[in-house]
Structure 1
């Protein structure tokens, strides 16, 4: 191999290596508030049903008193895309990151304004 070929080979190896770097798995922190969708546009947490607004208030309070670190929707066949959006709103009200858990995988919810 000539010098130019070796240089191109090194550049390709570096470029390929950078392209294949895996992102770290999302983390819900030490104490996520795991909530589930409930009938009537409500969510269940700790055995109680809440509207989106009331859930935001409850989790914001728990953030300050208990150290809740995030909001995680336990996504199942009953949950909808609207539920994911509502969880983002709940998390935003509590100034926390939002996620949904589906098939054993945690997915970050990002909503732009």
Structure 2
């Protein structure tokens, strides 16, 4: 009689850390639902337009919200809208860690 031996192995795939690319647009939330980038204040719609233009002219690679104590969940959602308008990935940076923002409809 012949014995059949099956060996099984478990494999895990390490998730890669999110990457904002070489030239992220680092923005911060301001009062009144606006955002600051490069010393200027923008509404969500205007910020999307500005970053989309910079994507083409300067090679912006992503949108990164610099998270602080005043940042709200709505700010994170707004950054997702900004990044969608610019067709770029969105992130928020909190305590030195980069977190991907993913919004599904």
Q: CA RMSD in A?
A: 1.3
Partner-residue secondary structure (3-state), 1:79: coil
Task: Give the corresponding residue for 1:91.
Answer: 83
Does 2:54 align with 1:62?
yes
Does 2:25 align with 1:50?
no
Runs of 4+ aligned structure 1 residues displaced above 6 Å come to: none
Aligned pairs, number: 103
Task: Give the corresponding residue for 2:30.
Answer: 38
In the TM superposition, residue 24 of structure 1 has moved relative to its aligned partner by 0.7
The unaligned stretches of length 5 or more in structure 1 are: none
d(CA) in 2 for partners of 1:92 and 1:3? Answer: 54
Does 2:84 align with 1:73?
no
The unaligned stretches of length 5 or more in structure 2 are: none
TM-score (norm 1): 0.86
d(CA) in 2 for partners of 1:78 and 1:62? Answer: 27
What whole-Å deviation, never above 9, does each CA across 1:26-63 have from its counterpart, x for those lacking one? 10001000000001110000001100000000000000
What whole-Å deviation, never above 9, does each CA across 1:46-81 have from its counterpart, x for those lacking one? 001100000000000000000000000001111000
* Structure 1 or 2: more helix by fraction: 1
